[in-house]
Amino acid sequence: MSTHSLVAAWTEADLDVVGRVRDVVRAPDRVLATDGARVDPTAPEVVQLAADLVATMRVSPGCVGLAAPQVGESAKVFCVDVSQHPKARDHHGTFVLCNAEVVEASRNERAREGCMSVPDLTGDVKRPSRITVRGQLPGSGEEVTIEAGAFEARALQHEIDHCDGLLFLDRVAGAHAIYARKTYL
């Protein structure tokens, strides 16, 4: 697996607009269950949305990715950044993709997932741990195809699912694979 140098070098400064921190919507808001619209990655409102997603992710503790439906916009745009996460290995740092889809996937692994839009639950989800994703960078609109593994692969699939109107709840492994998230004081 090799990282994509253009994507790895990307930062939100490339967007040239200031991101605004947006409110994160929670299930059962229907926007989270709606298949997002494909977007023009060069459109100013999409560039602003990309910047907003990164800004909102940055201020959210432990957040490794955020998708447009989570800020109330039914659109296929998401950001990820797994670089600060202890489970991350090879990764691309912060980046935003538009109209992304998984084009290849292999090596299923099961792991526990949570989501800012489902704050009270976590669940065991089986997902491929080696994937190839194709999408477009916001601003330039350049099409990129990246390989991702391990935790970044999981984060990407979780966010792509959001863009398609799916939550991790739609993929949990079974009736006993869902857990109440506890806060221990």
Interface with other proteins (CB under 8 A): 26-28, 30, 33, 108, 110, 118, 120-121, 126, 165-167, 169-178, 180
Query: 67 and 37 in contact (C-beta within 8 Å)?
Result: no
Using rule CB under 5 A, residue 156 touches Zn ion: no
C-alpha 100: how far from chain center: 10
Instruction: Give me the least distance between CB of 175 and other proteins, in Å please.
Output: 4
Choose which of 115, 133, 148, 160 interacts with Zn ion (CB under 5 A). Answer: 115
159 is catalytic: yes
Query: 14 and 51 in contact (C-beta within 8 Å)?
Result: no
Q: Which does 172 bind (CB under 5 to 8 A by kind): Zn ion, other proteins, none?
A: other proteins
Q: Which does 126 bind (CB under 5 to 8 A by kind): Zn ion, other proteins, none?
A: other proteins
Instruction: Give me the least distance between CB of 185 and Zn ion, in Å please.
Output: 25
Q: How far is CA 177 from CA 65, 99, 148, 169, in A?
A: 22, 30, 25, 10
The C-alpha angle with vertex 56 and arms to 53 and 62, in degrees rounded to 5, equals 115
> Hey, what are 36's tokens?
């997002």
Instruction: Give me the least distance between CB of 161 and other proteins, in Å please.
Output: 11
Using rule CB under 5 A, residue 57 touches Zn ion: no
Query: 160 and 170 in contact (C-beta within 8 Å)?
Result: no
Query: 98 and 135 in contact (C-beta within 8 Å)?
Result: yes
Select 28 or 44, whichever has its Cβ closest to other proteins: 28
| Catalytic sites, residue numbers | 159
Residues that bind Zn ion (CB under 5 A): 115
